[in-house]
Chain A
C-alpha cells in the first residue's frame, strides 16, 4: 500500500520552526466561541438574559479553575469557594477605594487584581495543604473553607458581617467612553475575561507543568522518581487554580456589586464540585457544560418551580451513577460511532425513545409537584396550575393520572431499551475506515 513508504522511524514531530504559535486548526474553536459569545446579546437581549449569561460566564471560569485541581491534578477540594470569594471581596474593597479615595484603576483591569489576590492566598494555604493529596488534602480544604466562612461573620472590617460588602462599579475612570453602567457593557467585559481565562487554563494544561500535574494525578510515586516533587507540582496547580478563581470572584464583584458570606461558604464550595462533576472532570469542556446546565437550572427552572434543587440533585445522582464521566463524557461516547460513520444507526432508536422519555420526565415531575403542592399549599389554596392545566392538588385523580402516565411511559422505555442497546453495540462495532 502507499502507506508503507511513509513508515519510517524518523520522528514526524521534529520539524523545527514551522508551526505558528497556535495552529489554525486549534484556534478555530476559540474563534467560533468568541464570535458566538459576541453575538449572544443580539439573540438574548433582555436584561435578565444578560444577567444569566454573565452568571454563566463567571461559573464557567470558576468551574474550569476548579477542574484544574480535580480533573487535571487529582485534588478534591471541599472549600474552593474561598479563593473566588476572597478575590471578590478584595475587588469590592478596591472598587470602594476607587470610589472614595480616587484610586486610579480602570474597571477592565480589576479581574487581574482579583486573580493576583486569589493567587497569593492559594500560595499561602497551598504551602501546607498540598503536602499530601487525597483525603488529607480534602480535609484541609474543608477545614480552611469552614475557617474562612466563619471569619466572614467575625472579621466585619473586611467581610462586612452579615450584610457583606457592596460597591459601585461605575465610579472608576471611563475606558474608551464606557462607564459600565449598562448590563451589556458588563457582559462584554465578562466574556472577554471568560475567553482570556479559558484560553489561559487551556494553554496551562498544555505546558510541562500541566502535563506533569496529570502525571502526579495518575501516579504520584512514579512522578517523584522522575525528578518531580509531587508537593510542588500540586502547589503550583493550586496557585494557578487560585488565580483563575480570583478572576471569577472579581467578575462576580463587578456584576453583582455585592459579596456576602454566601460567596465563601461550604454550600458554594459544594455546588462547584457538583457542577464540575456533572459536566465531566475528564474533559476540558466538561466544567463548561456543567456550568451552563447548572446556571440554567438555577436561574430559569427556579422561576417555574421551587423544587429545582431536587431536580438538580436527581440529575447529579443519575449522572454519577450512570455516566461517571459526566455530560461531556456522554457526548464523547458518540465520537467513536461518528468516526466510524455509524452514528446514523442511533438516530432511529433515539427518536423512538425521546417521546416516552420526555413524557416520563414531565409526568414524574408532575407527581413531585402535585405532592409538594398538596403538602405545602396554604389552606384554601388547593388549586394549582401545571403545564397550563389548572386542577385541585388535593384530589386523587390528578395524582393518579400523573402516576399512571409516568408508569406507562416507563414501561414503553423499558420495551424500547433493548433495541437502543443493540443499536449502540452495532454503532460502536467495527474499525475506523
Chain B
C-alpha cells in the first residue's frame, strides 16, 4: 500500500453533513486530524458523536460534504474498503467474535493485512508468521493466559481489551475507539488508558469518550461536538478554559468532576 505525501492530514472532514429524514444530525463539520495526533471527540448525549464516527468509518454515507483519508476522498466507500486504507475502529457495544477463541479473534484480524485475503490454498495453522504475530498482540494486550478461552466467556473488561487488540491487530495507522472505558471501574479505566497509550504509540488515535479524566489524560487535541457542530477544537488546556464550551457542555460536567 503506497501512502500519499505527508502533507495531508490523516483524517479530514470537509463540510460534512448527515441527515436521517428531516433530522439533521451532523450539520457541517470541518475538522483536520494530523498524523500521530491523539484526538478526542466529546459532547453531550445526542450531539451526533456516534453518527460522526460512523461517517468516518464508512458505516454511514454522508448526505453532503466529504471524508478524506490521507487526502483521498472515501465518502461512500464500504467499511472494508476504508479499513484496507489503514483505518480500524472499535464499537460502542463490544463487538468481537464470541464463539471463537481469543487467539482466533486476533488471528482473524490479521489475515487481510498479512495478505491472506480470501485464500483457500493455505492451511491457517501452518502459517507461522500469522500465529507468531497473533501471539505478540496477545502479549501486548496482556491476554496470553486467556489465549484458548472463548471470547464470549471473558469478563467485560477483558472483552473490551480484546476488542482493542482486534482493532490494532491489522496494523492500521488510524485507530478509532468508541468509549473504550465505558462501564469500567476506576482501576480498569486506568489500565485501559495505559493499554491504549501503549498500543497506539505513533499512530493517529481518534477517541469518543465520556470520561473527562480519560479525555484530558489521553488527548493532544479535543473537539467539542454540540448539536452536530464542532464548537471548539483545541488543546485540552484551551478547551477547558473556553467559555463557549463551558456554556454549552463542559461547565456542568467539570463541576461534577470537581
**A224 proximal to B (CB < 8 A):** yes
Interface of A is mostly: helix
Shortest Cβ gap from B124 to chain A (Å):
5
Shortest Cβ gap from A370 to chain B (Å):
46
* B135 A206 Cβ-Cβ under 8 A: no
Count of interface residues, chain A, beta-carbon cutoff 8 Å: 35
* Complex: chain A residue closest to B139, CB-CB: A9
**A209 proximal to B (CB < 8 A):** yes
* B118 A232 Cβ-Cβ under 8 A: yes
**A27 proximal to B (CB < 8 A):** no
* A218 B128 Cβ-Cβ under 8 A: no
**B131 proximal to A (CB < 8 A):** yes
Residue pairs across A and B with Cβ atoms less than 8 A apart, 17 shown, are A9-B144, A11-B135, A12-B135, A14-B128, A15-B128, A204-B120, A207-B122, A208-B117, A208-B127, A211-B104, A221-B95, A225-B89, A226-B83, A226-B111, A227-B84, A227-B112, A233-B118
With contacts A206-B125, A219-B95, A219-B97 taken as known, whether A226 is within 8 angstroms of B108 at the C-beta atoms is yes
* A208 B126 Cβ-Cβ under 8 A: no
**A210 proximal to B (CB < 8 A):** yes
Residue interface bits A14-28, CB-to-B below 8 A is 1, else 0: 111001000000000
* A218 B100 Cβ-Cβ under 8 A: yes
A251 CB contacts on chain B under 8 angstroms? none
* B interface, CB within 8 angstroms of A: 57, 59, 78-80, 83-84, 88-89, 91, 95-100, 104, 107-109, 111-113, 116-128, 131-132, 135-136, 139, 144, 166, 170
7 pairs of A and B residues whose beta carbons are closest in the complex = A11-B135, A227-B112, A13-B131, A208-B116, A224-B79, A14-B132, A218-B97
B78, B116, B120: the one contacting A224 at CB < 8 Å is B78
B107 CB contacts on chain A under 8 angstroms? 211
A209 CB contacts on chain B under 8 angstroms? 118-120
A9 to B108, CA, bound (A): 21
A208 to B136, CA, bound (A): 19
B124 CB contacts on chain A under 8 angstroms? 206-208, 210-211
Most A CB contacts (10 A, CB to CB) among B89, B108, B119 go to B108
A223 CB contacts on chain B under 8 angstroms? 108
A204 to B122, CA, bound (A): 9
* B80 A229 Cβ-Cβ under 8 A: yes
With contacts A204-B120, A211-B108 taken as known, whether A11 is within 8 angstroms of B136 at the C-beta atoms is yes
Residue interface bits A115-150, CB-to-B below 8 A is 1, else 0: 000000000000000000000000000000000000
A16 to B83, CA, bound (A): 30
